[in-house]
Amino acid sequence: MKWLTMEKYLKILSAPLEIIQTPMVVKHQGEEAIMECTQSKGEYHVMMFWLKKLPGGPIRQVVYNIAFNKPLFEPDFNDGRFSIMKLDHFKGNVTVKKLVLGDDGLYYCALSIIWQGVSGW
């Protein structure tokens, strides 16, 4: 049995994630856009968020996904054109099918470490 000390546990929880995502996607109306997101630190169960920002507007959440569970889309993005795929603990992507003018904007990937386990304390 491998033991995880409290010191090691706290280091894992405080370790920053390095996020790498697709820098820019240029597509035409009707095409499909795929944006990738990768984290490069550790073997964590990760909660993945995709956010959208329009110039001069607020940041809006598109979708989030915990580990390999069913993604939860916000109502404005739940029309079947948006999908998210969690490829493994390190990588996932969001796809937008049949692009329309309102799909333009800056899309951001955000990740959060979640810990699943049983504590004997």
Query: Quick check: is 48 in a domain?
Result: yes
Query: Quick check: is 37 in a domain?
Result: yes
| Structural domain boundaries, residue 48 | 6-114
Query: Quick check: is 106 in a domain?
Result: yes
Per-residue pLDDT at 8 = 42
- What is the tally of structural domains in the chain? 1
Distance of CA 118 to CAs 46, 52, 86, 100, Å? Answer: 18, 35, 25, 46
Count CB neighbours of 37 within 10 A: 25
Query: Quick check: is 119 in a domain?
Result: no
Please give the model's pTM, rounded to 2 decimal places: 0.74
Q: What is the pLDDT of residues 17-57, one digit of tens each?
A: 678 888 888 999 999 999 998 887 665 656 888 999 988 88
Residues 106, 86: Cα–Cα separation, whole Å = 20
Query: Quick check: is 120 in a domain?
Result: no
Q: What is the pLDDT of residues 70-87, one digit of tens each?
A: 889 999 999 999 998 877
Q: How many helices (H) and strands (E) does the chain have?
A: 1, 8
Query: Quick check: is 93 in a domain?
Result: yes
Residues 12, 50: Cα–Cα separation, whole Å = 23
Query: Quick check: is 82 in a domain?
Result: yes
Query: Quick check: is 1 in a domain?
Result: no
Per-residue pLDDT at 55 = 84
Instruction: Residue 67: give its domain's CATH number.
Output: 2.60.40.10
Residues 80, 89: Cα–Cα separation, whole Å = 24
